[in-house]
Amino acid sequence: MSVQTRYRAENRLRAGPGLPRFEALTGLVYAGLSLLGMQALVAPAIAALADEAGREIDASGGIATRNPEELLEVFTLLNWAALAMTDAGHPVPEAHQAAMERIAPTLRALRHSDGGLARFHGGGRGLEGRLDHALASAGVRTLAPQGAAMGFIRLSGGRTTLIIDAADPPGGDAGKSAHASTLAFEVTSGRRPLIVNCGSGAPFGTEWRRAGRATPSHSTLAIEGVSSSRFGKAGTDVLAERAHVLTQRQMDTETGHGLHLAHDGWALTHGLSHGRDIVLSGDGRHVAGEDRLVSLNPKGRARFEQVLTATGLKGVPFTIRFHIHPDADAALDMGGTAVSVALKSGEIWVFRHDGRTRLSLEPSVYLEKGRLRPRATKQIVLSGLAAEIETRIGWTLAKAQDTPTAIRDLDRDDLPVPL
């Protein structure tokens, strides 16, 4: 092996933290196991990869960025390296194997019923079938945890999955691609995504990247003009003012499984906290939600009164957004009091609300890797004014018609076109 080749290889041992270092170390393990003259680097590369896995994968099987797709990439790299070691007769270090065993159940908790990942904090759904293939080839059979996994909670009923962001956005270096998505959720029915987040705009330029990280690009409540987590100094990528989750409780009801959540994202700016209750029925046919804007303490009420006075006592404008997957057809129904959403499987879902806000159907975008441009879609929007110390808005999303039994919902045409 030449001095230059060895120098490049040893530099890979010093790659930056996170996914780049996992990629570099995995490549070095492969090179050392398969190329003549590289065997001297096998042992340090394997040891460095195990050390990185033990350090970067936390006790619950998550990573600091809270990016589900990045976690899948790390898991895939660790699995490939483990298979290469086994084929070459090298034992897999205990820390390496233990990290894979921690990650696998977390990935299962982040998996929608269509096999794709929840799209949060810069991550996409992943290549078709990659998640299931990675889990199967790794051979780790541990089931998804019952509580939060990497800060996300998964509810399932029948053929429906709901995954919600139930933790603070990551900060520091890990937060350079974090989204202001606290309490945002996605819903998938069978093989068809229904409610989504817009996703990462990074492939489409700086402006799209910033827009994709803002709260209105997620299926949650947003106060007009102010995200729940906000950037610091101009030009920085890190969310300096981050929403803090105050309450996270799972609950069983007579109709299904639910969540009671709250965060303080607007406590400083408006004296308000956002609470969200969601219940998914046991058969997966009905989602019931309630969103609340509340002043929780005297300090918050004083701040809210200041903001309210500045509006001429009209109230603080807010919206609750439900971004619809571009393959679903949405239309106002029942005289404008509901929205019908038809999936390509033949299912029809109907969105209703309690009448305390104005319902509209507005343009949206679906930001997806592998596409030349953002995909046009629609979003359900509830608009209102918070003029009291507590504002409550109820809504439901219910299946009105099932997939016809004669149709096998197998084909998917929403996959990215390879570039």
The phi and psi torsions of 43 (rounded to 5 degrees) equal -60, -50
Q: Reply yes or no on whether the pLDDT at 11 is more than 70.
A: no
**What is the DSSP secondary structure assignment for residue 314, as one 8-state letter?**
S
Higher pLDDT: 405 or 254? It is 254
- Residue 280's pLDDT is what? 97
pLDDT tier, 48 (very low <50, low <70, confident <90, very high otherwise): very high
Q: Which of 103-117, 138-152, 187-201, 302-316 has the lowest mean pLDDT?
A: 138-152
Cα torsion through 145, 115, 169, 362, rounded to 10 = -130
Q: Reply yes or no on whether the pLDDT at 17 is more than 60.
A: no
Cα torsion through 364, 367, 368, 372, rounded to 10 = 90
Alpha carbon 336 to chain centroid, angstroms: 31
pLDDT tier, 41 (very low <50, low <70, confident <90, very high otherwise): confident
Side chain identity at residue 369, one-letter code: K
CB 189 within 8 Å of CB 284: yes
Rounded CA-CA distance 168/180 in Å is 9
pTM: 0.91
- For residue range 120-145, what is the model confidence (pLDDT) as tens digits? 999 999 988 899 999 998 888 877 77
- Residue 404's pLDDT is what? 59
- Residue 381's pLDDT is what? 98
Rounded CA-CA distance 250/259 in Å is 5
Q: Reply yes or no on whether the pLDDT at 298 is more than 90.
A: yes
Q: Reply yes or no on whether the pLDDT at 165 is more than 90.
A: yes
- What share of the chain has pLDDT > 70, as a percent? 90
Q: Reply yes or no on whether the pLDDT at 384 is more than 50.
A: yes
Beta-carbon count within 10 A of 16 CB:
9
For residue 346, give every residue at least 6 positions away whose Cβ sits within 8 Å of its Cβ, in sequence order, or none.
401, 402, 403, 404, 407, 409
For residue 351, give every residue at least 6 positions away whose Cβ sits within 8 Å of its Cβ, in sequence order, or none.
322, 338, 339, 340, 341, 380, 395, 396, 397
- Residue 419's pLDDT is what? 35
**What is the DSSP secondary structure assignment for residue 118, as one 8-state letter?**
P
How confident is the prediction for the chain on average, in pLDDT?
Answer: 89
**What is the DSSP secondary structure assignment for residue 181, as one 8-state letter?**
-
- For residue range 188-229, what is the model confidence (pLDDT) as tens digits? 999 999 999 999 999 999 999 999 999 999 999 999 999 999
- Residue 14's pLDDT is what? 52
**What is the DSSP secondary structure assignment for residue 147, as one 8-state letter?**
S
pLDDT tier, 413 (very low <50, low <70, confident <90, very high otherwise): low
Range 258-271 average pLDDT: 97
The structure tokens listed for 78 are 């660790």
For residue 274, give every residue at least 6 positions away whose Cβ sits within 8 Å of its Cβ, in sequence order, or none.
182, 183, 220, 221, 228, 262, 263, 265, 266, 291, 292, 293
Q: Which of 98-102, 228-232, 386-390 has the lowest mean pLDDT?
A: 228-232
**What is the DSSP secondary structure assignment for residue 293, as one 8-state letter?**
E
Q: Which helix (H) or strand (E) holds 132?
A: helix 130-138
The structure tokens listed for 109 are 């908790």
CB 223 within 8 Å of CB 270: yes
